[in-house]
Amino acid sequence: MKHRAKPRPSQLPQYVFKVERLSHEGRGIAHYDGAEFSHPTEKQGKKVFIRYALPGETVKAQITRQVSKLEEADSIELLSEPNPYRIEPICPHFGSCGGCNMQHIHPDEQIRLKQDVLKSHLSHFAGLEPAQWLSPLRSTRVDYRHKARIGVRFLPKSNKLLMGFREAQSNHLTEIQTCKILDIQLDQALPEIKALLESLKGKSSIGHIELAKGDGEISLLVRHTEKLKQHDVNLLQQYALQKQWQLYLQPAGVESVHRVDDADAEMYLHYRLNEFDVDFAFNPTDFTQVNPTVNPQMVKLACDLLELKQGEKVLDLFCGLGNFSLPLAKCVGDTGKVVAVEGSEAWYRKRTEQSYQQC
């Protein structure tokens, strides 16, 4: 059973390993073992982190990085029975695209692994042992991501435009035709967007695009390093009008982002937490919770566990847009108080505006 991993041009060797366990980030951990395999004597006992390999499996792996205390590798062939939790990745680009690294692991096992990581961190850094583990919050949707930054690169020698995500541990782009974890509306638009970018005269100046989806809006942001010709701006505007999307250009840093489909319109998308009757406005570049299906469950669970009463006080650190602090304010009522702390001045201004809008 071969893996889809993209071959790496390298003079580093290939070896057979027996995988013992998983690392915190989901890589298989093995050791050089000269007694069982034909491993160099000088490497005896050295730890190897192997992408795409699971516990109990024997794999052929291509070494990709060597340092004094450990090595890294990619599994390129499974030589034994697969781990019971191994599944077929849903994405045809898995193994070359660096966007996902656990699609070969059953979701139940992914959750168990992440719980083990949290347990280890609580024990190691805080000396805490949870008395009870709550059932995980889950979503049945695979296409859960409502935001994505997608790299763009024009190759003048081949007159080809690449659009995709970066390869793992590399600055190279993996060209993608689809992203199965991206919201279906955004995913289905990827071929159209690539064709649009290919038609631009200034396509060599496009560095990346960003897609974002709110409850009722979608935005397309184009990052460019040189001023776009009006011809190109017109094409982008026509596409946004056809799709009824918001269109943003970013010629420099994040402060340069501006809306061009309707210069007089607000620069916001929106989402709502119905349980608490609160609405949020966010910019295309703002951080929001990655999974809009799980987010309401997460906020409700936090509020339920706190068992807040009218008049109580709550501290919300790194509050961002107020995803937690505004629902918490609803729980403590007019006589209560939520102190929402945010280190970013820009986020603070947005958070203050959100608070006044909800009053």
Q: What is the CATH number of the domain that holds 226?
A: 2.40.50.1070
Whether residues 241 and 289 fall in one domain: no
Spatial separation of the C-alpha atoms in residues 95 and 6, rounded to whole Å:
6
**pLDDT over 70 (residue 5):** no
In a domain, 138, yes or no: no
* pLDDT range class, residue 179, cuts 50, 70, 90: very high
Whether residues 249 and 309 fall in one domain: no
Q: Is 275 labelled a binding residue?
A: no
Query: Domain limits at 158?
Result: 147-259
Whether residues 154 and 246 fall in one domain: yes
- Report the pLDDT value the prediction gives residue 347, as an integer from 0 to 100: 63
- Report the pLDDT value the prediction gives residue 70, as an integer from 0 to 100: 96
Whether residues 303 and 324 fall in one domain: yes
In the chain, the number of structural domains is 3
The CA-to-CA distance between both ends of the chain, in Å, stands at: 59
Whether residues 90 and 29 fall in one domain: yes
Whether residues 351 and 294 fall in one domain: yes
**pLDDT over 80 (residue 149):** yes
Q: Is 318 labelled a binding residue?
A: yes
In a domain, 33, yes or no: yes
Radius of gyration of the chain (CA): 24
* pLDDT range class, residue 171, cuts 50, 70, 90: confident
Q: What is the CATH number of the domain that holds 32?
A: 2.40.50.140
- Report the pLDDT value the prediction gives residue 1, as an integer from 0 to 100: 45
- Report the pLDDT value the prediction gives residue 38, as an integer from 0 to 100: 87
- Report the pLDDT value the prediction gives residue 2, as an integer from 0 to 100: 46
Among the candidates 105, 138, 173, a domain finishes at: 105
Least confident of 32-46, 140-154, 276-290: 32-46
Among the candidates 210, 227, 259, a domain finishes at: 259
In a domain, 308, yes or no: yes
- Report the pLDDT value the prediction gives residue 356, as an integer from 0 to 100: 54
Per-residue b/e over 312-345, b at no fewer than 16 CB within 10 Å?
A: bebebeebbbbbbbbbbbbbbeeebebebebeee
**Mean pLDDT to the nearest integer, 44-58:** 96
Whether residues 249 and 226 fall in one domain: yes
Per residue in 81-111, pLDDT tens? 999 999 999 999 998 898 898 999 999 999 9
**pLDDT over 70 (residue 3):** no
Residues 6+ apart with CB under 8 A from 67: none
Per residue in 104-135, pLDDT tens? 999 999 999 999 999 999 999 999 999 999 99
Q: Do 308 and 332 touch, CB atoms closer than 8 A?
A: yes
Q: Do 27 and 61 touch, CB atoms closer than 8 A?
A: no
In a domain, 264, yes or no: no
Q: What is the mean pLDDT of the chain?
A: 92
Per residue in 232-266, pLDDT tens? 999 999 999 999 999 999 999 999 999 999 988 99
Residues 6+ apart with CB under 8 A from 202: 224, 226, 228, 229, 232
- Report the pLDDT value the prediction gives residue 304, as an integer from 0 to 100: 97
Beta strands in the chain (DSSP E): 14-18, 21-22, 28-31, 47-51, 58-66, 70-78, 147-155, 160-166, 173-175, 206-213, 218-224, 246-250, 258-259, 269-273, 278-282, 313-317, 337-341
Q: Is 342 labelled a binding residue?
A: yes
